[in-house]
Amino acid sequence: MYNNNLCLCMQYWVVSLWSHICTIITSVCAVLGSVTVEPQDQTVLQGQIAGFECIAENALPRASVTWYRDSIPLVISEDPRYYVSDVTGTLFIREVNESDVGQYSCVCVNSAGSVSSGPASLMLVNSLPRK
């Protein structure tokens, strides 16, 4: 396990037996930190779009994001209404219905480890209140 706030750097050296000169070959650094943009509670009109953000800024390499509803991993490929942005990790849910209501959270993972967001509620209304 890695400490989430630790920069794990590895350097590989090659020593030339002929010239006795050390040459750096590669340097890899992994950083994760924390979830800097967490999902927020929202109330959505039935049939509309919901979106939850989850960003671990400064993650190196870029963190992949896994989404959970009520602590169960979402299998994005099983429901065409769900989409996760490859760039931002934002979860979009089209045509929100009663089955989507729940607590959403995310886990960001890279080679430095993993960090979790807090939960955010998705609530549903059938119509907008009249003024």
CATH code of the domain covering residue 116? 2.60.40.10
* Tens-place pLDDT, residues 33-52: 888 899 999 999 999 999 99
Question: Is residue 95 domain-resident?
Answer: yes
Question: Is residue 16 domain-resident?
Answer: no
Write out the residue range of the structural domain in which residue 117 sits.
Answer: 34-125
The verdict on pTM exceeding 0.85 is no
* Tens-place pLDDT, residues 67-101: 999 999 999 999 999 999 988 899 999 999 999 99
Question: Is residue 8 domain-resident?
Answer: no
The DSSP element (H or E) to which 128 belongs, if any, is: none
Q: Report helix, strand and coil shares of the chain as percent, to nearest 5.
A: 5, 45, 50
Q: Give CA–CA dist 104/119, Å, rounded.
A: 5
